[in-house]
Amino acid sequence: MKHTWISVGIVLLTAGFVLFAAALIAMRFDFSKLVTTETITNTYTIEEAVNRIAINTELTDIEFRLSDGDKIQVDCTGQKKLRHTVQAENGTLTIGMEDNRRWIDHLFFSHTLSMTVYIPSGRYESFSSGSRTGNFSVPSGLAFGSADIRGSTGDVSFGASVEGSLSVSVSTGDILLDNVTAETVSLSVTTGDIFINAVECRDALSIAVSTGETTIAETTCRALTSSGSTGSISMKNTVAADSFEIKRNTGSVRFDGCDAGRINVRTSTGNVTGTLLTEKIFVTRTSAGSVNVPATESGGICRITTSTGDIHLTIAGR
């Protein structure tokens, strides 16, 4: 009898697997269809004066837009079990999430929610945002005392001005800064590209990339520091009053009409090429590669070190 029940159990279990497989084939292996979700849209109008903004969400694309009026409006598209919360208290606009999903909802949930924040142009004391997954964009026309943006997976586009420090850190995704002014700028990405255009940084500009390309154009700062594991850095019309400090393990370094008081570049595998604006005293070293630099004897120190890579630099106008 015992063996009979075991045989029946095996038959039922096999039948269950067959039915489950058939259902997956019918859904073309779209696991999200196993979860029923109901989309809801809410609009919040903030009557209270706001001077600080704090956002902590997940699975949400967030876009800021300049509003025509003098009030903040937040349009949210969420789910019945995963909805946004919006409130203003003591001058702080706080945007969060209320998560009532079951374990199976977490397992198969694949939707990206959305939010649009319509905000009057002007200055705000502080801005902070943290998101697990989702793209994020802030346009020009806004000003902040400080700004701190952190994300797990998603792109960040930022165009506002910041009086103090601007910090952007993402794990997987691209970072774009366009027409930004700030005292200090700190950018960090694990896997993704960094694009910097028309940025005026009055003090230090710091860039850290694990795997990805870095592109900088029309930018000024006091000092630029860039580190990377895998990926090249390309700079055009970029000037630092004090210094460039650039390190790459695998990747090339390209200058196009750039300059700094002193320059220090170190790469493992990659070429260092391009054009500088003023004369430098070149100090170069490479294990396997060719060196071609001007025989100038004035200016700041330009120290270039590579393991496997060529060093070819020229001075503009010469």
185 token code pair? 């700028």
Structure confidence by residue, pLDDT tens digits, 96-153: 987 666 544 544 444 668 899 999 999 999 999 987 788 999 999 999 999 999 998 9
Structure confidence by residue, pLDDT tens digits, 164-193: 999 999 999 999 999 999 999 999 999 999
Structure confidence by residue, pLDDT tens digits, 48-76: 999 999 999 877 899 999 998 899 999 99
29/113 Cα distance (integer angstroms) = 22
pLDDT for the residue numbered 1: 54
pLDDT for the residue numbered 19: 55
Mean of pLDDT over the chain: 88
Total Cβ atoms within 10 A of residue 102: 10
pLDDT for the residue numbered 107: 46
What is the arithmetic mean of pLDDT over 203-225?
98
**What CATH number corresponds to the domain at position 105?**
2.160.20.120
22 token code pair? 């058939």
189/132 Cα distance (integer angstroms) = 14
Range scoring the smallest mean pLDDT among 2-16, 45-59, 88-102: 2-16
pLDDT for the residue numbered 58: 79
Closest CA to 157 of 145, 173, 172, 141: 173
Are 20 and 78 in a shared domain?
Answer: no
| Spatial contact of 84 and 40, defined as CB atoms under 8 Å apart | no
- Any idea what DSSP says for residue 203? S
What total number of domains does the chain contain? Answer: 2
User: Last residue of a domain, which of 80, 97, 120?
Assistant: 120
Residue with the two structure tokens 């956002």: 55
Structural domain that includes position 19: 1-30
Are 108 and 49 in a shared domain?
Answer: yes
106/109 Cα distance (integer angstroms) = 5
Q: What residues have CB less than 8 Å from 136, skipping those under 6 apart?
A: 61, 62, 63, 129, 149, 151, 154, 155, 156, 157
Are 58 and 89 in a shared domain?
Answer: yes
Q: Is the residue at 90 inside a domain? A: yes
Closest CA to 267 of 286, 245, 247, 285: 247
Range scoring the smallest mean pLDDT among 65-79, 189-203, 268-282: 65-79
pLDDT for the residue numbered 3: 56
pTM above 0.75, yes or no: yes
Output b/e per residue, 182-208; b: 16+ Cβ within 10 A.
Answer: bebbbbbbbbbbbebbebebeebbbbb
Q: What residues have CB less than 8 Å from 196, skipping those under 6 apart?
A: 177, 187, 205, 207, 214, 215, 216, 217, 219
Are 12 and 52 in a shared domain?
Answer: no
9/21 Cα distance (integer angstroms) = 18
Asked if the model's pLDDT at residue 208 lies above 80, the reply is: yes
pLDDT for the residue numbered 78: 73
Tell me the H-state helices in the chain: 2-26, 103-108
Range scoring the smallest mean pLDDT among 99-103, 228-232, 288-292: 99-103
Asked if the model's pLDDT at residue 34 lies above 60, the reply is: no
